[in-house]
Amino acid sequence: MIESGYIKEFVQIFDHIPKTVIKDELGTNNDRITRLISNVREFSLGEILTISQLLETDFRKIIAIACTQILNEELRRSKY
The answer as to whether 14 is a domain residue is yes
Domain range spanning residue 58?
Answer: 10-79
Q: What is the 3-state secondary structure (H, E, C) of the chain?
A: CCCCCCCCCHHHHHHCCCHHHHHHHHCCCHHHHHHHHHCHHHCCHHHHHHHHHHCCCCHHHHHHHHHHHHHHHHHHHHHC
Q: What is the pTM of this model?
A: 0.85
The answer as to whether 3 is a domain residue is no
The answer as to whether 30 is a domain residue is yes
The answer as to whether 2 is a domain residue is no
pLDDT reading at 3 higher than 80: no
CATH number at residue 63: 1.10.260
pLDDT digits (tens, 9 = 90+) for 8-48: 999 999 999 999 999 999 999 999 999 999 899 999 999 99
